[in-house]
Amino acid sequence: MQLNGKVAVITGAARGIGRACAQQFAREGAQLILLDIANNIDDVPYPLGSQSQLACTEALCRAEGAPAWALSVDVRDPHAIHEAIEFAIKRCGSIDVLLNNAGIAAPSGKAVHEIDESEWQLMIDVDLSGAWRMIRAVGQSMLERRSGSIINVSSTAGLVGYRHFAGYVAAKHGVIGLTRAAALDFAPFKVRVNAICPGSVRDDAGVEGRMLSEIARSLSVSVDEHEATFVQAQPMNALIEPEDIASAAVWLASDGARQVTGSIVTVDGGFSAR
């Protein structure tokens, strides 16, 4: 029960890594505020998390014995974020952990000069500015309490470049910079800010993940072959499991990582070590 008594806000909680983290946080004793857009975005060429998937995450967390509340929130909308954080504080008294997981993998699949203005802005607005908006919303409360852990989900794309993914790479590199800068701003107040960089995470049916298959689609890799294709680039010859990311997030959220801030934790099977 590493998170017993802690209140955690998780974005992008409807499925995938967000759901895996929510379930693991629930098992470790956290109270949960589960946020997701729970709707599609017109310019994102694949279905995003749905209302039913977000409700499923909430039910799975409650089945673990954790108090959990699911809210539809678009991280591009400062007003919706403010209302969600107010709800969390009124309902639970405080926020101890923020896990910034919401993100999109597309529109992608184009050379940098072929990306249009709206595609670039959308990627930055969700994947980078969304994390900043959430940090801004919880920051004052955490600083006043002189306690808190903020965890940003970046990517190996935040550490290295990928062909035909300039928007995603730029946004995820930005998340690393945001993490380091916020960690220094908040360090005097004992509020920690760290980032996790997942490698190729398997689309586990149990958490209804689909990010890897969407990245494969953007690269014109066959869905039937995409796992084998990505494994070839893995030094440990295996894809990352959603639970691997959740375990890292639990540790960063826990008091066991109380002296860890400004750190970039790679969970990529050695991919970025080359």
Which of helix, strand or coil describes residue 139? Answer: helix
Give one DSSP letter per residue of 164-195, joined into a string.
TBHHHHHHHHHHHHHHHHHHHHHGGGTEEEEE
Tokens of 214: 């969407």
As a whole number of angstroms, the distance between CA 268 and CA 247 comes to 13
Cα distances (Å, whole numbers) of residue 139 to 78, 144, 169:
14, 9, 26
SS3 assignment for 253-264: HCHHHCCCCCCE
The identity of residue 86, as a single letter, is E
Dist CA 13 CA 35 (whole Å): 6
Structure tokens that stand for 58 in this block:
């909430």
- Residue 168 is a catalytic residue: yes
206 closest CA partner among 64, 19, 34: 19
> CA-to-CA distance for 187 and 184, rounded, in angstroms?
5
The one-letter amino acid at 248: A
Q: Looking at 168, 186, 230, 271, which residue is catalytic? A: 168
Among all residues, which ones are annotated catalytic?
168
